[in-house]
């Protein structure tokens, strides 16, 4: 019988719920060798989970299509390159489930003002990793092409005088500089909800940097790819300035953002699958002190 963990069961239920009723019934027949007759979708799902030896075996079934796994990962805040094959998606899904961090925070990230850090021996890189997972899951959830319920986006995640510097280079170069929580929040929202962009951050060491100033500012720098539907449009680099709320040592809001976007045509010969952050530590230090 099934050797699935509770985390795997919950994840597989979400993936199975993306299947048509016909495919679900057919998969139940395949898994049980038609020994068990099911009456409805709920019974089919439970039967499939009970008779699957492990999560990998079930994910590799033909009826569990690549696009279902891709959509599941996106809803969980794990953005994969759109050209990822099924094998890569299965591997990433199993990693997600086996990770010690897979708990409620995977599906329900805290608000920016709730981002947690280690009180003793504070590590800015730990905060940077947690913040980027939270921020990009929240921002991407506003994209209607994902077909998911948007999470709570708004000016509450920013300091009132937050600044946004946006530089975009594709066929033409555009620059925006905005100030104020409401207008910055709306401008970023326009990228995902309006332009239907998906941001896929590279949280590996070469794509993520962090620095803390003695004055309480934490700089987070991250690189990644930008997608629309199945097309990779280019890469982005984003620098966040984070400051704690004065009455809560575990709460942070965004003080400033520098966002650079480069389209594919502005990247001759560059590998865009896992871009590295081009800012050096000394450049980040300069930003920290300015």
- The two beta strands, 158-169 and 248-263, are parallel
pLDDT value at residue 171: 61
Return the number of other C-beta atoms located less than 10 Å from residue 216's C-beta: 11
Distance CA 218, CA 212 (A): 4
Q: Is 196 left (phi over 0), alpha (psi -120 to 50) or beta?
A: left
Domain ranges of the chain: 6-98, 109-289
Structure-model confidence comparison of residues 192 and 108, the more confident one: 192
6-16 vs 41-51: helix crossing angle, rounded to 10: 140
Which two tokens mark 191? 């990228």
Contact 106, 14 (CB under 8 A): no
Query: pTM of the full predicted structure?
Result: 0.61
Counts of helices then strands in the chain (DSSP H, E): 10, 7
Overall size of the chain counted in residues: 290
pLDDT 10s digits, 234-261: 899 999 999 988 776 668 899 999 999 9
pLDDT 10s digits, 130-189: 899 899 989 999 998 887 788 889 999 999 999 999 998 866 678 889 999 999 999 999
Angle at 162 between CA 157 and CA 166, to 5 degrees: 105
Report the pLDDT averaged over residues 208-226. Answer: 88
Cα torsion 58, 60, 65, 69: sign: positive
Q: How confident is the model at residue 119 (pLDDT cuts 50, 70, 90)?
A: very low
Helix ranges (H only) for 60-178 are 66-75, 86-98, 104-107, 124-140
Contact 73, 96 (CB under 8 A): yes
Share of the chain above pLDDT 70, in %: 85
Cα end-to-end span (Å), the chain: 61
Residues whose CB falls within 8 Å of the CB of residue 199, separated by 6 or more in sequence, listed in order:
79, 136, 139, 140, 192, 224, 226, 236
pLDDT 10s digits, 1-19: 457 888 898 899 999 998 9
191, with CB counted inside 10 A (0-12, 13-18, 19+), is: buried
Q: Which helix (DSSP H) or strand (DSSP E) does residue 64 occupy?
A: none
DSSP string, 3-25: ---HHHHHHHHHHHTTS-HHHHH
Contact 10, 39 (CB under 8 A): no
Q: From residue 165, give the alpha-carbon distance in Å to each of 59, 87, 109, 168.
A: 42, 39, 26, 10
The residue whose two tokens read 């003080």 is 255
> Hey, which CATH number is domain 109-289, 3.30.70.260, 3.10.450.50, 3.40.50.300, 3.40.109.10?
3.10.450.50
């Amino acid at each position: 019988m099934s050797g699935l963990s509770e985390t795997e069961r919950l994840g597989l239920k979400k993936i199975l719920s993306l299947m048509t009723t016909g495919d679900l019934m057919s998969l139940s027949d395949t898994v049980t060798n038609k020994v068990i007759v099911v009456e409805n979708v709920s019974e089919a799902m439970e039967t499939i989970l009970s008779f699957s030896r492990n999560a990998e075996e079930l994910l590799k079934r033909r009826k569990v299509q690549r696009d279902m796994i891709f959509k599941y990962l996106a809803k969980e805040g794990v953005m994969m390159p759109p050209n990822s094959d099924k094998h890569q998606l299965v591997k990433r899904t199993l990693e997600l489930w086996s990770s010690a961090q897979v708990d409620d925070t995977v599906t329900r990230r805290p608000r920016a003002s709730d981002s947690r850090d280690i009180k003793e021996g504070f590590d800015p890189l730990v905060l940077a990793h947690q913040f980027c997972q939270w921020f990009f899951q929240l921002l991407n959830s506003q994209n209607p092409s994902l077909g998911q319920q948007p999470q709570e986006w708004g000016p509450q995640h920013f300091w009132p005088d937050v600044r946004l510097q946006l530089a975009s280079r594709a066929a033409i170069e555009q620059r925006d500089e905005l100030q104020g929580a409401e207008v910055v929040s709306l401008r970023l929202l326009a990228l995902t909800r309006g332009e239907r962009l998906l941001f896929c951050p590279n949280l590996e060491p070469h794509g993520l940097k962090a620095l803390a100033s003695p004055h309480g500012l934490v700089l987070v720098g991250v690189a990644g790819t930008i997608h629309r539907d199945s097309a990779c449009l280019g890469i982005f680099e984003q620098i966040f300035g984070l400051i704690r709320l004065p009455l809560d040592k575990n709460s942070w809001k965004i003080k400033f953002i520098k966002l650079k976007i480069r389209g594919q045509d502005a990247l001759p010969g560059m590998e865009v699958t896992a871009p590295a952050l081009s800012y050096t530590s000394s450049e980040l230090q300069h930003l920290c002190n300015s």
